[in-house]
């Protein structure tokens, strides 16, 4: 038996075990080639799986020790020094289904369940997850397969039940920086009295997720009991979904999907709907932004996506409405948690300087959700939403929810480093590339540094003179400042032309 | 700037960098989510790429240090303590081509070249390589694409030139344990006077590669100069191909392909032919074993594979002949480096106990290769090969080549642990599962422990009584002994039926 040791290395969503090359009990090199090992300890029913790294330094692990990375040590949940044994991991049987999917076959309900179960139990390497995702992406999934995958993702996690007939939710498929409408929509809906217990995600590769932005103002890591208490009192909340273990397989798939820039239709729908169903939603508004640098480039593709959402929603008894919105540029001015939270607070407190596109889009989305209420007359949702916002009731509701979740106490490092990106010629802004703007904000340190990010000064349609500030980068660390300013010098994401662009004033297409 | 530190962790073909969480210069978490970093040092033109792990223990790396895993430290090739800087790695542009391949498109010559270049420079994560392989596998590759990929793999490595008109080679597509014909064929061919400078691979997931088995007898890690000297004198050699850097991208692809159990036709052909072309071969015999537990299950598939080999060979001016062989069970008796080397030596020294299937198959393959010689009359190859073997000339040639490469001096640990797997019923052996037998031998410690592996006592067609020994497992380590015996108790790989099987005495179908 080996003695367990915690090795303080954070290996980012991959379990790693450390074994000394001269370990007298095991032949380390043979194990390594076999890819994964199982770590067993008395009292644990299921072994923990990990990739093996071989160590040649007794200070890291001694020859009679088994080291585990921070993640793996946490999963094993035992004290240092306990006896552990290791064995080659049995390849998961569900991989055979993945190979059949690679070969172009259609998988059944049980196969998707077993795949999700094995992924949840960490039996798949990242390579194997990538293989599964590519196989699903390229072949596409049959509609039924999207249903099976969604169901498997729901069934392998926890589900919330709010005990009411109408539990509303909204979701944007993503890709538009600054698009923080949820933080405006939720308090409007809750102020109206509808139940909107919103769980959101943190950013993975984007400069901010809704949970990251809300966290600037309030605690977002609530237990399910705490969530229920907030919602009971205020009809709304905005928390991080991670603590609730809703469709946890989705999080693992996303951790591979995002760095691979994979976003297949079937996976996207299964990912979004599994989370919503697990969160106990009954009525869902989905926002699909369309634009050349958005996730969806054409209306035709948005329409196909809408049909798939509706098909899967119906099978689960989840009522879905889809809106297609303008995804041609970022929404609002701030990109990065604190800058986005500032925009949100400006809208909620009806300040003149509030970004009008964020305000208008939020009101329209809120209006659609309000019409889920049988007592709201068709077409009146927008006006009700605007009244709630303008009367200050949305702001008050948000303040109450922030207080109930716990006001954020943590002091954040100031973003003392500023850099203004200016127009290299005069003309009109024709386009702002969402992907590049998001990347610059990420390089600047968002979302890890809450105050880092971008403030946009010019939007599509604006007239600019050479030398005018297009946007300003904020960073806390010199290294982030350099990475982001260097990238923005190579690609500032703005297209400026001599004549004004033909703009579309409709937020919804 | 950070101080470079070597961290003695062997991360198995993946570069890892270690940075302390409290590093004052960089925001570690932001970097980690961005997947890869570039490490730059004065004097190096190209940065080294690595995945980032975050460390919370100053004993591993201090806050002003950058640690590199064994592999990455070797690539950077600088002393500890030198100043290094890091930056987020730019995603390789060729990934866009991979996404187009995932979407079902055909890629051009230049795209395959750029993909291979980026893979070679370690710019792809294993997930990204997996995505590329699955995309190629599922869509299949057009014939032209297989050519482009092969050419790209050749062009991104070194090439050998032997300066003769006929340079012969043989290759088995793999999957059959114990199939060590090359070590018998090569000395026969060289004794005949034809040039056969054979480079072979080590095992990746199998219990032995030809290079591993040859290493039991001789040094196989020769420089190109040493290889040329041996070949000049003896007309043959058998070395490990890794030192020569022939089609190095192939090795990287295989390191992902094997654990994923991916073996698509296009990849297989590009992999094999890129190595042969880079090795300077002009005439190549390819062995395709067919069987239910072989890589190729049906003759029809073998035929399609043959056509693809011929098509690509012709484009490179490499003459190819393909033989389809019986892949229904292991060849020879030993599985694992030392046990296979024993079989080979028995055949070469014309011992009575030599496994007849290994001898016969080797003679037939050698016969076909001898007929590449314009002076050998069609149909006479086999007889010439047999004469060379029976006269002892093949044995002498092998001894001379072993001496020239350097007799193996390293003492290997004895495989003191033995376990015999016996028949659970009486009858006739109908099948031996290649995959399961190979897995048992791997679990026993092969090829890392040269003496570990399996000795087969009963082959297909043999009559067995309940309790007869089917095969014996040899292991050096108690842990390996337990893993392999436990697996063999669950699945001993033998199918035994009451009546004798219908056997096919032809080694070639």
Banded model confidence at residue B14, pLDDT cuts 50, 70, 90 = confident
pLDDT tens figures, B282-331 = 999 999 999 999 999 999 999 999 999 999 999 999 999 999 999 999 99
For residue A35, give the chain B residue with the closest CA: B259
Q: To the nearest whole angstrom, how far is the Cα of B104 from the nearest Cα of chain A?
A: 7
Query: Chain B within 8 Å of A490 (Cβ-Cβ)?
Result: no
Contacts of B139 in chain A (CB under 8 A): 138
pLDDT tens figures, A363-383 = 999 999 999 999 999 999 999
Answer yes or no: are the C-beta atoms of B140 and B269 closer than 8 Å.
no
Q: What phi, psi does B114 have (nearest 5°)?
A: -65, -40
User: Does domain B2-88 correspond to CATH entry 2.40.40.20?
Assistant: yes
State the best of B1, B2, B10 to mutate against chain A, taking most chain A CBs within 10 Å. Answer: B10
CA pair distance A336, A213, nearest whole angstrom: 8
Of the listed ranges A203-212, A416-425, B168-177, B334-343, the least confidently predicted one is A203-212
Question: Average per-residue pLDDT in chain A?
Answer: 93
pLDDT at A509 over 70: no
DSSP annotation string for A208-232: --HHHHHHHHB-----HHHHHHHHH
Banded model confidence at residue B256, pLDDT cuts 50, 70, 90 = confident
What per-residue confidence (pLDDT) applies to A28?
79
Name which of A26, A449, A478 is nearest B477 (Cβ-Cβ). A26
- CA angle at A199 for the pair A198 and A201, rounded to the nearest 5°: 135
Helices and strands of chain A, counted as H and E runs: 18, 19
pLDDT tens figures, B386-420 = 999 999 999 999 999 999 999 999 999 999 999 99
What per-residue confidence (pLDDT) applies to A506?
58
pLDDT at A292 over 80: yes
pLDDT at B499 over 90: yes
State the best of A30, A72, A477 to mutate against chain B, taking most chain B CBs within 10 Å. Answer: A30
- Among residues of chain A, what percentage have pLDDT more than 90? 82
Q: For chain B, how big is the Rg over CA atoms in Å?
A: 24
DSSP annotation string for A295-345: SB-SHHHHHHHHHHHHHHHHHHT-EEEEEEEE-SS-SSSEESHHHHHHHHH
Are A53 and B11 inside 8 Å of each other by CB?
yes
Indicate where chain A has its CATH 3.90.1170.30 domain(s).
417-497
CA pair distance A249, A275, nearest whole angstrom: 10
Residues written for chain A? 509
Are B130 and A135 inside 8 Å of each other by CB?
no
Structure token pair of residue B332 = 């020879």
pLDDT at B503 over 80: no
pLDDT at A222 over 90: yes
What per-residue confidence (pLDDT) applies to B138?
64
CA pair distance B234, A257, nearest whole angstrom: 54
Looking at the domain A417-497, which fold is it? Aldehyde Oxidoreductase; domain 3 (3.90.1170)
Are B479 and A256 inside 8 Å of each other by CB?
no
Q: Which helix (H) or strand (E) holds B85?
A: strand B83-88
Contacts of B478 in chain A (CB under 8 A): 25
Residue with structure tokens 């001269």? A22
Question: Average per-residue pLDDT in chain B?
Answer: 93
Contacts of B205 in chain A (CB under 8 A): 33-34
pLDDT at B91 over 90: no
- Among residues of chain B, what percentage have pLDDT more than 70? 97
* C-alpha to C-alpha distances, A456 to A7, A355, A472, A484, B110, nearest whole angstrom: 43, 10, 7, 15, 39
What per-residue confidence (pLDDT) applies to A139?
62
Helix, strand, coil percentages (3-state) for chain A, rounded to 5, are 40, 20, 40
Q: Which amino acids of A are annotated catalytic?
A: 263
pLDDT at A388 over 80: yes
Name which of B88, B259, B476 is nearest A443 (Cβ-Cβ). B88
Class of domain B168-244+263-405: alpha beta
Q: Which amino acids of B are annotated catalytic?
A: 263
Query: Chain B within 8 Å of A479 (Cβ-Cβ)?
Result: yes
pLDDT tens figures, B342-383 = 999 999 999 999 999 999 999 999 999 999 999 999 999 999
The pairs formed by A31-35 with CB atoms below 8 angstroms and a separation of 24 or more are A31/A86, A31/A88, A32/B10, A32/B12, A33/B12, A33/B203, A33/B204, A33/B205, A34/A88, A34/A89, A34/B205, A34/B442, A35/A89, A35/A125, A35/B259
CA pair distance B153, B248, nearest whole angstrom: 7
Indicate where chain B has its CATH 3.40.1030.10 domain(s).
168-244+263-405
Helix/strand/coil (H/E/C) assignment for every residue in A377-428: CCCCHHHHHHHHHHCCHHHHHHHHHHHHHCECCCCCCCCCEEEEEECCCCEE
Are A9 and B55 inside 8 Å of each other by CB?
yes
For residue B88, give the chain A residue with the closest CA: A483
pLDDT at A507 over 60: no
For residue A20, give the chain B residue with the closest CA: B9
CA pair distance A476, A458, nearest whole angstrom: 23
Indicate where chain B has its CATH 2.40.40.20 domain(s).
2-88
What per-residue confidence (pLDDT) applies to B301?
92
Query: Chain A within 8 Å of B255 (Cβ-Cβ)?
Result: no
pLDDT at A405 over 90: yes
Query: Chain B within 8 Å of A93 (Cβ-Cβ)?
Result: no
Contacts of B256 in chain A (CB under 8 A): 127
Contacts of A491 in chain B (CB under 8 A): none
Contacts of A60 in chain B (CB under 8 A): 7-9, 60
- Which class for A311: exposed (0-12), middle (13-18), buried (19 or more C-beta within 10 A)? middle
Helix, strand, coil percentages (3-state) for chain B, rounded to 5, are 40, 20, 40
What per-residue confidence (pLDDT) applies to A505?
58
What per-residue confidence (pLDDT) applies to A290?
95
What per-residue confidence (pLDDT) applies to A138?
67
Determine the average pLDDT of the residues in A108-121: 95
Class of domain A168-246+265-405: alpha beta
Name which of B25, B99, B261 is nearest A479 (Cβ-Cβ). B25
What per-residue confidence (pLDDT) applies to B88?
87
pLDDT at B507 over 60: no
pLDDT at A504 over 80: no
Total beta-carbon pairs less than 8 A apart between chain A and chain B: 174
CA pair distance A297, A290, nearest whole angstrom: 5
pLDDT tens figures, A54-100 = 999 999 999 999 999 998 999 999 999 999 999 988 888 899 999 99
Taking residue A317's Cβ as centre, other Cβ atoms within 10 Å add up to 8
For residue A262, give the chain B residue with the closest CA: B99
CA A501 remoteness from chain centre: 32
Report strand pairing: A417-422 vs B65-68.
unpaired
Determine the average pLDDT of the residues in A320-338: 96
For A328, how many CA atoms within 13 A lie in the half-sphere containing its CB?
19
Contacts of B259 in chain A (CB under 8 A): 35, 125, 127
pLDDT tens figures, B26-63 = 887 777 666 689 999 988 888 899 989 999 999 999 99
Answer yes or no: are the C-beta atoms of A115 and A97 closer than 8 Å.
yes
Report strand pairing: A427-432 vs A494-497.
antiparallel
CA pair distance B473, B488, nearest whole angstrom: 9
What per-residue confidence (pLDDT) applies to B28?
79
Query: Chain A within 8 Å of B314 (Cβ-Cβ)?
Result: no
What per-residue confidence (pLDDT) applies to B504?
63
Name which of A12, A88, A102 is nearest B443 (Cβ-Cβ). A88
- In terms of average pLDDT, the best of A250-259, A494-503, B281-290 is B281-290
pLDDT at A205 over 90: no
Are B443 and A11 inside 8 Å of each other by CB?
no
Banded model confidence at residue B506, pLDDT cuts 50, 70, 90 = low
Determine the average pLDDT of the residues in A235-258: 90
What per-residue confidence (pLDDT) applies to B104?
85
Are A128 and B260 inside 8 Å of each other by CB?
yes
CA B424 remoteness from chain centre: 34
Banded model confidence at residue B163, pLDDT cuts 50, 70, 90 = very high
ipTM of the predicted structure?
A: 0.84
pLDDT tens figures, A427-474 = 999 999 999 999 999 999 999 999 999 999 999 999 999 999 999 999
pLDDT at A329 over 90: yes
For residue A259, give the chain B residue with the closest CA: B35
- Which class for B225: exposed (0-12), middle (13-18), buried (19 or more C-beta within 10 A)? exposed
CA dihedral (B113, B116, B120, B121) positive or negative? positive
- Among residues of chain B, what percentage have pLDDT more than 90? 82
Query: Chain B within 8 Å of A474 (Cβ-Cβ)?
Result: no
Q: To the nearest whole angstrom, how far is the Cα of A117 from the nearest Cα of chain B?
A: 19
CA pair distance B381, B372, nearest whole angstrom: 9
Query: Chain B within 8 Å of A25 (Cβ-Cβ)?
Result: yes
Q: Who has greater pLDDT, A225 or B255?
A: A225
Contacts of A135 in chain B (CB under 8 A): 134, 138
Of the listed ranges A235-244, A352-361, B190-199, B306-315, the least confidently predicted one is A235-244
Answer yes or no: are the C-beta atoms of B48 and B89 closer than 8 Å.
no
pLDDT tens figures, A263-281 = 789 999 999 999 999 999 9
Helices and strands of chain B, counted as H and E runs: 18, 19
Name which of A9, A88, A126 is nearest B126 (Cβ-Cβ). A126
Query: Chain B within 8 Å of A27 (Cβ-Cβ)?
Result: yes
For B40, how many CA atoms within 13 A lie in the half-sphere containing its CB?
9
Determine the average pLDDT of the residues in B422-443: 94
């Amino acid at each position: 038996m080996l003695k367990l040791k915690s090795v303080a290395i954070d290996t980012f969503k991959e379990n790693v075990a450390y074994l000394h090359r001269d370990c007298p009990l095991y032949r380390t090199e043979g194990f390594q080639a076999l890819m994964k090992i199982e770590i067993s300890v008395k009292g644990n029913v299921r072994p923990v799986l990990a990739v093996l790294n071989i160590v040649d330094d007794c200070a890291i692990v001694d020859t009679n020790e088994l080291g585990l990375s921070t993640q793996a040590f946490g999963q094993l949940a035992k004290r240092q020094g306990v006896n552990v044994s290791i064995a080659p991991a049995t390849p998961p049987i569900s991989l055979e289904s993945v190979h059949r999917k690679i070969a172009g076959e259609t998988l059944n309900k049980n196969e998707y369940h077993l795949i999700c179960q094995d992924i949840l139990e960490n039996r798949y390497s990242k390579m194997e997850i990538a293989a599964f995702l590519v196989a699903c992406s390229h072949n596409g999934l049959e509609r039924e397969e999207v249903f099976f995958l969604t169901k498997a993702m729901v069934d392998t996690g926890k589900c919330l039940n709010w005990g009411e007939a109408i539990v509303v939710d909204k979701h944007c498929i993503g890709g538009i920086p600054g698009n923080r409408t949820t933080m405006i929509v939720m308090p409007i809906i809750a102020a109206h009295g509808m139940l909107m217990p919103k769980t959101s995600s943190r950013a993975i590769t984007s400069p901010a997720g809704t949970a990251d932005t809300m966290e600037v103002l309030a605690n977002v890591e609530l237990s399910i009991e705490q969530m229920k208490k907030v919602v009971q009192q205020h009809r709304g909340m905005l928390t991080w979904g991670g603590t609730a273990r809703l469709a946890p397989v989705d999080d693992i798939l996303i951790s591979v999907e995002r760095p691979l820039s994979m976003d297949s239709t079937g996976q996207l729908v299964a990912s979004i709907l599994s989370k919503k169903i697990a969160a106990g939603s009954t009525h869902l508004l989905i926002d699909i932004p369309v634009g050349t640098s958005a996730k969806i480039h054409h209306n035709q593709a948005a329409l196909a996506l809408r049909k798939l959402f509706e098909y899967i929603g119906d099978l689960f008894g989840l009522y879905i409405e889809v809106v297609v919105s303008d995804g041609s540029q970022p929404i609002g001015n701030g990109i990065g948690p604190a800058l986005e939270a500032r925009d949100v607070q400006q809208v909620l407190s009806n300040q003149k300087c509030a970004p009008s596109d964020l305000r208008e889009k939020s009101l329209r989305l809120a209006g659609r959700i309000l019409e889920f209420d049988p007592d709201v007359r068709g077409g009146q949702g927008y006006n009700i939403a605007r009244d709630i916002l303008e009367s200050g009731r949305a702001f008050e509701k948000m303040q109450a929810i922030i207080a109930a979740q716990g006001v954020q106490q943590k002091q954040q490092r100031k973003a003392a480093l500023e850099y203004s990106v200016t127009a290299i010629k005069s003309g009109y802004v024709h386009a702002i590339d969402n992907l590049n703007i998001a990347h610059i904000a990420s390089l600047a340190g968002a979302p890890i540094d809450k105050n880092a990010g971008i403030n946009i000064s010019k939007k599509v349609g604006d007239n600019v003179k050479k030398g005018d500030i297009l946007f300003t980068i904020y960073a806390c660390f010199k290294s982030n400042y350099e990475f982001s300013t260097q990238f923005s010098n190579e690609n500032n994401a703005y297209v400026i032309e001599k004549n004004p662009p033909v703009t579309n004033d409709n937020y919804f297409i």
